[in-house]
Chain A
Amino acid sequence: MRVRVLVRPKAGILDPQGVAVEQALPALGFGGVTDVRIGRLIELEVDDPAQVDEMCRKLLANPLVEDYEVQLLDGAAGTAS
């Protein structure tokens, strides 16, 4: 089963990466951008999707500072890379 995990900084947590991008965009002429938050996307092929939540809590995300969301993709295996 192909699974996608979206990891984001928790609301209210300082996100230095997001702040840096938010400050850099106006410098490139892009106005009207606020509240930039940067997380990460993890895709994995797993035999047992029920384990993904625990994987997130133990390794893929840091639950103290990050929220995560697990998406089950189509049963078909993802494209090989």
Chain B
Amino acid sequence: MADAGLPTVEEAMALGLTRGEYELVCEKLDRPPNQVELAMFSLLWSEHCAYKHSKKLLMTLPTEGEFVVMGPGENAGAVDVGDGLVCAFKVESHNHPSAVEPFQGAATGVGGILRDIFAIGARPIAVLDSLRFGDPGTSERSRFLLDGAVSGIGHYGNSIGVPTVGGEVYFEEPYEQNCLVNAMALGLGEREKLVRSAAAGIGNILVLYGASTGRDGIGGASVLASAELGELSEDKRPTVQVGDPFEESKLLECSLELLEAGLIVALQDLGAAGLTSSASEMASKGEVGIDIDVAKVPLREADMEPFEIMVSESQERMLCVVEPGKLDTVIALTDKWEVHGTAIGTVTDTGQMRIFRGEELVGEMPVVALVDDCPLYDLDPAPPAAPIYPPPTATLDPAADLRQALLALIASPNIASRRPLFEQYDSIVQSRTVRRPEESDAAVLQLPGGRGLAVSIDGNGRKVAADPYRGTIGVVLECASNLACAGAQPLGTTNNLNFGNPEKPHIAWQLTEAVRGLGEACRALEAPIVGGNVSLYNEGASGPIYPTPVIGMVGRLPDVTRAGRLGFAREGDAIALVGRFSPALPASELARLRGEALPDGLPDVDIAAVRATQEAVRDAVREGALSSAHDIAEGGLLVAIAESCLAGDVGATLDLGACEDAWSALFGEAPGGFVVSGDPSAIARLAEHTDVDVIGAVGGDRLHVRAGDGEANATLAELREAHRALARLFP
């Protein structure tokens, strides 16, 4: 093997390895790595691939349960939805690419998560997204990122014909420099036909199909292209990944047909770290070796180096393992779909990942060293000595009365109607969507046989910043409450942990506490984690993002025609506050508008009590007993009621009775509260199962509330105008 010009330890460190890790690589190889090997180690030993700062925490999460068919470790998780069908789902982040080029970053984020779904043999049926930006009203950069990300998601999802059925977006100052773009996808597949990614069968062939390979997204590895990066000629520079949804559509159909015909042994998509990560992980799971000849990889640019080919992140590519006797059939099928497969390697019994360029061996590493031997680090968590985040900018007049506060909250970018965003998405293609955005707290999709699937994605970084443990529990509960309002029982959970630099003790503490809360809440709800993603080092010049665990939860309901709605439906219906609800203002949306500093900690949460309330609401929705059900979230009780008024286009009159503090009662937030409406007798039956407080009635063209000495009054027209606040940003 050529050993001229071996990379130095400084180059290894420029690629992100520590000196100790570089020395460990040398020890595992018994010699210093060459250019190809160093590029591969630096990627597989990165946080993104090796989870070296988070794996020990993630191992504490519950991953097994009654409905789990496929858990973490595969391309996506899967839960049983009955009748031999499974729902595959996963959330993944594309934060850093989106911060550079938001349109393509978000588009390729959607493309990547869709490939994860069909890589296990499920057909994608829905996309959701979770976004975080700075204030779009005052920050030009945030507007640019928001515009780009939303149109990128719509471009990819709409083109490929997968509906974007839900999502969430928050605008907070800590995301100004480092936006978050998380995409979640769901797929439907037959339980017996799911495929895993472990390579198997010595002598079997590796076939790469899909788009050709270019210099897309070759991140830090470019350091290897030249000792002096500044002198790189323009055309050698790494390029932004560009997504091609039509190519992905062909890739999807081809992959599903290959699986349906039983032609392939294993399947894996190419995502971060490209061929390096896909091939190594397939080899590791199958406990085999793999030989790859980079000279056989179809290239978009002729003069690519072997290491560039191995680490390229060109989109819309898949790698499968095929028995030699079936190779011709597989290639013919990929030609039919115009995704032209090429045999690029073989499965071996060497336990080595060997990279050839034609006859020349250009890299040889033990698979175990690449995939499993990356050191895992213990975090060094310590609560921050002083507050990490400055108080948000105050935008609400301190003298505002209840009515002014209500209208300001409804118009807050975090609460205002998301219509200008979601109407750029096709939410009904594939004709499965039963509840679209703003119709129900969760999106609802129809399954064969009249059953339904509900899905929600949630996060609240500000609460997690105030109390990582209780804040995260609150997010998981919120997600399950959204499912309950649709009438669904949770089956499984996916999560994306977006945090700052875990090598800092206070970030390590946020991460540790959040994962503790996540595990505890998922265990208590019996909604195990089936997959997820970690995105660390999300920091801008002004500090870390709010710690933002994003939770996606999938549930099922027996009768999709009874899927819950959030809008009030009938004049004269009783309105009830359901659950043991203890609203508090600290860290609430109102506190943000007032510019209040984050509190140090949130009140305790009784998860079991919240679960019991969720089950009571869910059962009532399933019986068709309620006209509406809506979870109380940002903005508290009165905002929830205003949202139900707007969704149903009808007013409400409320009297909370004696009330110590009208502000807390109306605008305070806490997990476990619901606003439901229905026939008074149905509300009375619900009261047999959980705490129910009838507080008013549906009717009229205004929202009028009395709480102790306080009073607020707004017409539907005024509420609607406030709710359209985001539309003013999208003229």
Residues of A within 8 A of B (CB): 10-16, 19-20, 23, 62, 64-65
Contact = CB atoms under 8 A, between A and B. Distances in A.
Nearest to A65: B240
B247 A12 contact: no
Contacts, number: 43
A12 B315 contact: no
Given A64-B100, A64-B240, A12 B215 contact: yes
B346 interface: no
Contact of B235 (A11, A14, A19): A11
A13 B244 contact: no
B239 interface: yes
Q: What are the 10 A-B residue pairs with the smallest beta carbon separation, nearest first?
A: A16-B244, A14-B242, A11-B235, A64-B101, A12-B239, A13-B239, A12-B215, A65-B240, A64-B240, A12-B301
A36 B150 CA distance: 29
Interface in B232-281: 234-235, 237, 239-242, 244, 246-247
A14 B100 contact: no
B326 interface: no
B304 to A, nearest CB: 10
Interface of B: 100-101, 103-104, 211, 214-216, 234-235, 237, 239-242, 244, 246-247, 300-301, 314-315, 338
25 contacts: A10-B239, A11-B235, A11-B301, A12-B215, A12-B300, A13-B214, A13-B239, A13-B240, A13-B242, A14-B211, A14-B214, A14-B244, A14-B314, A15-B242, A16-B242, A16-B247, A19-B244, A20-B246, A23-B338, A62-B101, A64-B100, A64-B101, A64-B240, A65-B101, A65-B239
Given A12-B301, A14-B214, A16-B244, 10 more contacts: A10-B239, A11-B235, A12-B237, A13-B239, A13-B240, A13-B242, A14-B216, A14-B241, A65-B104, A65-B242
A13 B242 CA distance: 7
Nearest to A20: B246
Given A19-B244, A20-B246, A65-B104, A11 B211 contact: no
Contacts of B104: 65
Given A64-B101, A65-B101, A65-B104, A12 B214 contact: yes
Interface-central residue, A14, A15, A20, by most chain B CB under 10 Å: A14
Mostly, the A contact residues are: loop
Nearest to A35: B300
Contacts of B314: 14
Contacts of A15: 242
B143 to A, nearest CB: 13
Contacts of A14: 211, 214, 216, 241-242, 244, 300, 314-315
Q: Which of A12, A16, A19, A62 has the most CB of B within 10 A?
A: A12
Contacts of B301: 11-12
A10 B216 CA distance: 12
A66 B338 CA distance: 27
B115 to A, nearest CB: 16
B711 to A, nearest CB: 49
Contacts of B239: 10, 12-13, 65
Nearest to A23: B338
Contacts of B103: 62
A23 B246 CA distance: 13
Contacts of B215: 12
A19 B300 CA distance: 10
B223 to A, nearest CB: 18
A62 B300 CA distance: 21
Among B100, B103, B242, B338, which residue has the most Cβ atoms of chain A within 10 A? B242
Nearest to A64: B101
A50 to B, nearest CB: 23
A12 B235 contact: yes
A16 B246 contact: yes
